[in-house]
Amino acid sequence: MTEQLRLMAVHAHPDDESSKGAATMAKYVSEGVDVLVATCTGGERGSILNPKLQGDTYIEEHIHEVRAKEMDEAREILGVRQEWLGYVDSGLPEGDPLPPLPEGCFALQDVDEAAGRLVRLIRSFRPQVVTTYDENGGYPHPDHIMTHKISMVAFDGAADTAKYPEAEFGPAFQPQKIYFNQGFNRPRTVALHEALLSRGMESPYGDWLKRWDEFERAERTLTTFVPCAEFFEIRDKALIAHATQIDPDGGWFRIPMEIQKEVWPTEEYELAKSLVDTSLPESDLFEGIRDNA
């Protein structure tokens, strides 16, 4: 190859990179791919989800700094680079009716202007492949939905010098493929659920599957299955680094590692747009790109 492969993963908050596609990133890093995580917000309005840290006054008063340090640790574990887009967490509105989003938050930004920050980063890093969230955000957090919006605009906008002039945003560049993270999918959930039950073990996914049916959640098209089981431990280690968000004794880690590797050894994606020829299903985000790199 005459040019290094580069992957950009666009995420809403610190910790999202470790719960969505982390093993994939670690796999590609091990192969010499340059991987950059673009984090849209600082996670300032995220709740402290680890019960062992709830009530810690220092963390509550310095949540932005704490989460930035957690991100640094996770970044080192995964072996990736990371950049902040610099927006403020919108929080997850709750109630009926839902309260308005806080002034100045990420989800209330002008989409084209916010995409401009990502365009600048894409033109600087020059990734052939970008990963992000689908139009539902993976789940309907306003920051995840906004991340989808700016990612789709920036994917095309990075090559559009009329909309984003080179003098301000850097030389034009066109990524070749963009994917939606789909790691939380029904086939994977069912497979792990049934594997646990067949072994006489308790499954944490029973309620998940019931809610799936109750809300009639639409199935996504899984196009790409990246084999990365040998990096599941690195994924979990990176996730645990986000200590305010993850309880190491919680539900995330209730599935024995050997069962995960045996039953579902991949991470899944939905190919949203490709400017190169590829054949589905894929096992590589860079399929159609490697031979031309």
Residues 56-91 pLDDT 10s: 899 999 999 999 999 999 999 999 999 999 999 999
Please state the domain count of the chain: 2
| Domain co-membership, 157 together with 261 | yes
SS3 181: strand
| Domain co-membership, 232 together with 248 | yes
Is residue 72 annotated as involved in ligand binding? no
Rounded distance between C-alpha atoms, residue 107 and residue 89, angstroms: 8
CATH of the domain at 143: 3.40.50.10320
State the residue range of the domain holding 198: 186-219
pLDDT given at position 261 = 98
pLDDT given at position 1 = 43
Is residue 148 annotated as involved in ligand binding? no
Indicate the residue among 201, 219, 237 that finishes a domain. Answer: 219
Instruction: Write down the pTM of the prediction.
Output: 0.95
| Domain co-membership, 167 together with 198 | no
Give a yes or no: residue 195 inside a domain: yes
Residue ranges, the chain, pLDDT below 50: 1
pLDDT given at position 193 = 95
Give a yes or no: residue 1 inside a domain: no
Give a yes or no: residue 237 inside a domain: yes
pLDDT given at position 271 = 98
| Domain co-membership, 87 together with 191 | no
Give a yes or no: residue 213 inside a domain: yes
Rounded distance between C-alpha atoms, residue 216 and residue 214, angstroms: 6
Is residue 13 annotated as involved in ligand binding? yes
Give a yes or no: residue 70 inside a domain: yes
Of residues 37, 38, 33, the one with CA closest to residue 86: 38
Is residue 106 within 8 Å of residue 87, measured between CB atoms?
yes
Size (the chain), residues: 293
| Domain co-membership, 106 together with 63 | yes
| Domain co-membership, 92 together with 213 | no
pLDDT given at position 192 = 96
| Domain co-membership, 258 together with 134 | yes
